[in-house]
Structure 1
Amino acid sequence: MNTPLRRISVVVLSMFLALMGAATWVQFVQAGDLNSDRRNVRTLYREFDNSRGPIVIGGEPVASSTPVDDPFGYQRTYANGALFAPATGFYSVVYGRTGIEDAANEYLTGTADSLFLSRVQDLFTGRQPQGSSVELTIDPAVQQAAWDALGEQRGAVVALDPTTGAILAMVSRPSYDPNVLAGHSTTAVNEAYRALDADPSRPLVNRTIRETYPPGSTFKLVDTAAALEAGLTPESQLAAPVSLPLPGSSAQIRNFGGSDCGPGETISLADALRISCNTSYGQLGLDLGADALRAQSEAFGFGSDLEIPLAVATSRFPAEVDAPQTALSAIGQYEVRATPLQMAMVSAAIANDGAQMAPYLVQTVRDPDLAVVREASPEVLRTSVSAQTAGALTEMMVGVVENGTGTSARIPGVRVAGKSGTAQTTDEAAPHAWFTAFAPADAPRVAVAVVVENGGSAGSEATGGRVAAPIARAVIEAVLAR
């Protein structure tokens, strides 16, 4: 073979090897990622041609598939779509999957490894392949109570069973109707999505787990836990100035409305929490130090990644802070950020003697024959505080509701433990109104967190006790009525 032919042969062989390598890479190495990519419309076409399993809440399907006479084979429909959209998400031939539709997709399509035997049975019996049903932990009565109590205000409500971690309610408003995104007309779906995506109220965002807010005075539960763990008691005396000059700064911390925290120069830790004294907690933050506050916040879950199985935005305590920033962080301001789920987890850990349970949204997965494929098992995520600290905090939080800033959360005959918060955002915007609580205090059945953005209907006059506490009370009452 002469030199030119040999060179051409080498080039052609190299091209064949490159082509074979590229094909192997795409068809074998990348196959899993490409199949699961939300932009892979072929995967969606294949999925739509099978009977997708239902998403079930309270024994009733809230997302289901029905046969239709079009190329897709089945149409996904949602009952009470806007009410449950934060949990279910949507299933769209144009925009893929979100929420449980995405997180539990392998079960809903019947492709999970644990369903292999079911697929083999279908092959031999000739039965049309079907997906599994996914049963959620949400209680429809509690969800409805939270939805109704929040009303037309922007915000979020999340409720947990503190002893198991099961999520009983997940409400985000404004919401959206998943049905408009599940249609088979790409033109109509595109128009609907563009309108929702352009809406400044951001209805597509699940505020319970994907939005972080300054927690305001609800963060004082973390401060108090750190103080009790460091050896203080509810009777320990704190400084209670009318205003607290921040060291190395011309700024000052003041109490809500410019009020004082009592007639004297000091106040007990319990009373400081009960009336939510900013100046006392600012000084307490300086005394404890940023490292102690950060460590205690992390013991409650701040800074940790979490899936329920939906991905949860990470709550944060700032990494580096000076003295003024530490004081502001102690009252839940500066760069402290928390999801409503995170603040519900703080209350839940206190309610559960300091043991924080892993929150979860999926209770049971059943195959088409209703055999249980997977069932949730409660799991301790971490120990946030000692049982002694949890007990002291519980009594202090009961004082907040019985004779403090949280009296709007009172329920006759029930001891409710709670904490209000009013979080400043910008100079131009009204503050966010917060409330987190659990009840009954002696045998907790529910922990709840509420945030109402920019004060809701009360605007700049809003406080957590006035706006958010009644919403928390309605949720607690719904749980206790079960």
Structure 2
Amino acid sequence: MNSSIRIGAIGSLVLTVILLINLSWVQVFHEDEYARHPRNSRNYIEAKQIERGQISAGGQVLAQSLVDDQGFYQRSYPNMPFSFAPVVGYLSDRYGVAGLEAGFNADLNGETRATGSRFLRTTEKRVGDSLELTLDPQTQAAAYEQLESRGYEGAVVALRPSTGEVLAMASNPSYDPNAVANPDGAAAEAAWESITSNPGNPLLNHASQEQLPPGSIFKIITTAAGLQNGYTPDSPLTADSSITLPGTEVQLTNYGGQTCGGGGSASLRQAFTLSCNTAFVQMATELGDGPMRDAATAFGVGAQYDLGLPNAAGSLGELEDLAAVGMSAIGQRDVTMTALQAAVMAATVANEGRRMEPQVVSRVVGPNMKTLREFRPRQAAEAITPDVAEQLTELMRSSERNTYGYNGNNYASKTGTAEHGEGLAPHTWYVAFDPDKDVAVAVVVKNGGGLGEGATGGQVSAPIGRTVLSTAPRAGEEQGGN
């Protein structure tokens, strides 16, 4: 009997010690992780007692907190909620927090100015700081409308090459954050079910998170690698309709099986203007994997940015042999980019080869309207020399005018049509910049926009990009909305 009691007492003691160790491990070493986890509903009960800061852009309030008849603050999204949802995000009692609401949560709920131990949570009422965004409401509205009105799935990003300020970051399909944040639990649950069952994944910020094969817009990077390593716009390259990948029997062809300007030989300028695959395969395989990888890295492929928003890195993929180099040179095989990275690529050319870090928050403002933190342009890399950037600009301008003529603008552009599966319509791309406005844009429309396997970037994505370029304000113009 005494033996049984002794064993039970020892077992109880051991369990108590394990429990104390576990509690200490959680409370001391992981308290912050669990307390701030997006799914911790206690955070949102506390948040209801805080006058959370606003999020605004160009004078338009995009997110605000209003007090209800019970004295709790409820989050609402009063202006252009579908246009801005993938960027602004939502704050929900049931489904957590997303977008800038998550990335700048500590600012918005006033925690960055709160006092006291991090182990003790204060019930003292506090007022959050507000965010002012770099986004221009008119440009954002135009970008989203261009996608949504056509029923396209994809993304648009516009930014200032000289500073990295993002003017538009549109994503479709989108969603209404008011429905997710609805305090009526049944209504919020129905909205959540509808949104999460959409195969287009509206909750994903397609502009910054979705990595897709870029197709021929990647030839900007391939050309930069060539120009940095001894090639010139007049360098002769193959104009044949097909080329055999080194070390294989695989034939890679031009679009539609056409020759490049009549066959035989073509200059790099002609090859870029006409987007001839075979010429770029030849140049890339002559260069080898080193210059290709260096150029891709310099332009930001594989980079992520501190935006307060989730953003994917993209990838050049493994370049294990020259056949892989050749296929990657035209933006196929394992190459992936986001629309944000594509816009940064075009902006880098426009900014004389300097790659700026993109930014979507202009400043953080306290309740007393005092600026607490402010955006400052930051250079990420000098991707190419100004001379190479000038040559690339002329090549992109030649590409634009070959397709659209002059039309009174000074646009420089490149289109892309990216294969991503047998029998599937291609993803279509357009990147461009207007040096007169200091604006660059990238557009991707997934799966050919419903136009089938013959869809092209010039046909599907370019009209959207050109509309956004014409809508965006010149540098120095005041932002504003309708």
Q: TM-score scaled by structure 2?
A: 0.91
Task: Tell me the distance in 1 between the aligned counterparts of 2:347 and 2:77.
Answer: 34
Task: Tell me the distance in 1 between the aligned counterparts of 2:193 and 2:71.
Answer: 25
- Is 1:417 the counterpart of 2:412 in the alignment? yes
Pick closer, same or farther for the CA change 1:34–1:158 going to 2, 3 Å.
same
Which SS does the other structure have where 2:420 is aligned?
A: coil
- Is 1:227 the counterpart of 2:226 in the alignment? yes
| Aligned equivalent of 2:380 | 381
Pick closer, same or farther for the CA change 1:305–1:196 going to 2, 3 Å.
same
Structure 2 residue identity aligned to 1:270: R
| Aligned equivalent of 2:130 | 133
Pick closer, same or farther for the CA change 1:206–1:8 going to 2, 3 Å.
closer
- Larger mean CA deviation between 8-17 and 448-457 belongs to 8-17
Structure 1 residue 264: deviation in Å?
4.1
Task: Tell me the distance in 2 between the aligned counterparts of 1:332 and 1:346.
Answer: 13
Structure 2 residue identity aligned to 1:105: N
Pick closer, same or farther for the CA change 1:19–1:427 going to 2, 3 Å.
closer
TM-superposition CA deviations, 1:362-401 (whole Å, max 9, x none): 1111111111111111100111111111111111111111
Which SS does the other structure have where 1:208 is aligned?
A: helix
Structure 2 residue identity aligned to 1:90: Y
Verify the 8 A CA contact 2:364 2:371 in the aligned structure 1.
yes
5 Å-filtered alignment, 1:247-286, equals 247-286=246-285
Pick closer, same or farther for the CA change 1:10–1:148 going to 2, 3 Å.
closer
Identical amino acids, percent of aligned pairs: 37
Verify the 8 A CA contact 2:83 2:144 in the aligned structure 1.
yes
Structure 1 residue 284: deviation in Å?
1.4
Structure 1 residue 10: deviation in Å?
7.1
- Is 1:209 the counterpart of 2:208 in the alignment? yes
Structure 1 residue 30: deviation in Å?
1.6
| Aligned equivalent of 2:239 | 240
Count of matched residue pairs = 467
Structure 1 residue 444: deviation in Å?
5.4
- Larger mean CA deviation between 10-19 and 170-179 belongs to 10-19
| Aligned equivalent of 1:352 | 351
1:426 pairs with 421, 428, 431, which one?
421
2:434 pairs with 427, 430, 439, which one?
439
2:142 pairs with 123, 132, 145, which one?
145
Task: Tell me the distance in 2 between the aligned counterparts of 1:264 and 1:14.
Answer: 83
- Is 1:325 the counterpart of 2:324 in the alignment? yes
5 Å-filtered alignment, 1:463-482, equals 463-480=456-473, 482=477
Verify the 8 A CA contact 1:344 1:448 in the aligned structure 2.
yes
Task: Tell me the distance in 1 between the aligned counterparts of 2:3 and 2:252.
Answer: 85
Structure 1 residue 153: deviation in Å?
1.1
Structure 1 residue 238: deviation in Å?
1.0
5 Å-filtered alignment, 1:53-202, equals 53-70=53-70, 72-112=72-112, 114=113, 128-150=125-147, 151=149, 152-202=151-201
| Aligned equivalent of 1:460 | 453
Which SS does the other structure have where 1:465 is aligned?
A: helix
Which SS does the other structure have where 2:252 is aligned?
A: strand
Task: Tell me the distance in 2 between the aligned counterparts of 1:115 and 1:447.
Answer: 40
Which SS does the other structure have where 1:87 is aligned?
A: helix
Verify the 8 A CA contact 2:62 2:81 in the aligned structure 1.
yes
TM-superposition CA deviations, 1:40-80 (whole Å, max 9, x none): 11111111221111111111211111111358543433421
Structure 1 residue 183: deviation in Å?
0.7
Which SS does the other structure have where 1:212 is aligned?
A: coil
| Aligned equivalent of 1:45 | 45
Task: Tell me the distance in 1 between the aligned counterparts of 2:226 and 2:29.
Answer: 53
- Is 1:336 the counterpart of 2:335 in the alignment? yes
Which SS does the other structure have where 1:244 is aligned?
A: strand
Structure 1 residue identity aligned to 2:62: V
- Unaligned 5+ segments in structure 2 are 117-121, 478-482
Task: Tell me the distance in 1 between the aligned counterparts of 2:440 and 2:407.
Answer: 15
Structure 1 residue 164: deviation in Å?
0.7
Which SS does the other structure have where 2:62 is aligned?
A: strand
Which SS does the other structure have where 2:373 is aligned?
A: strand
TM-superposition CA deviations, 1:197-255 (whole Å, max 9, x none): 11112222111011011100000000000000001111111111111122333321111
Verify the 8 A CA contact 1:77 1:182 in the aligned structure 2.
no
- Larger mean CA deviation between 422-431 and 133-142 belongs to 422-431
Structure 1 residue 14: deviation in Å?
5.6
Verify the 8 A CA contact 2:75 2:91 in the aligned structure 1.
no
5 Å-filtered alignment, 1:399-418, equals 399-402=398-401, 404-405=402-403, 407=404, 411-412=407-408, 414-418=409-413
Pick closer, same or farther for the CA change 1:17–1:200 going to 2, 3 Å.
closer
Task: Tell me the distance in 2 between the aligned counterparts of 1:141 and 1:73.
Answer: 29
Task: Tell me the distance in 2 between the aligned counterparts of 1:469 and 1:268.
Answer: 25
Which SS does the other structure have where 1:84 is aligned?
A: helix
| Aligned equivalent of 1:120 | none
Task: Tell me the distance in 1 between the aligned counterparts of 2:133 and 2:358.
Answer: 12
Q: CA RMSD in A?
A: 2.3
Q: TM-score scaled by structure 1?
A: 0.91
5 Å-filtered alignment, 1:386-397, equals 386-397=385-396
Verify the 8 A CA contact 1:210 1:339 in the aligned structure 2.
yes
Which SS does the other structure have where 1:473 is aligned?
A: helix
Structure 1 residue identity aligned to 2:131: V
Structure 1 residue identity aligned to 2:227: L
TM-superposition CA deviations, 1:77-108 (whole Å, max 9, x none): 34211010111011111110110010010011
| Aligned equivalent of 2:480 | none
- Unaligned 5+ segments in structure 1 are 118-122
Pick closer, same or farther for the CA change 1:397–1:364 going to 2, 3 Å.
same
Pick closer, same or farther for the CA change 1:128–1:455 going to 2, 3 Å.
same
TM-superposition CA deviations, 1:389-437 (whole Å, max 9, x none): 11111111111112x24x27x551x311111111112222111111101
Pick closer, same or farther for the CA change 1:141–1:411 going to 2, 3 Å.
farther
Verify the 8 A CA contact 2:74 2:183 in the aligned structure 1.
no
Verify the 8 A CA contact 1:430 1:459 in the aligned structure 2.
yes
Structure 1 residue 459: deviation in Å?
2.9
Structure 1 residue 462: deviation in Å?
1.7
Structure 1 residue 262: deviation in Å?
1.4
Task: Tell me the distance in 1 between the aligned counterparts of 2:75 and 2:312.
Answer: 31
Structure 1 residue 142: deviation in Å?
0.8
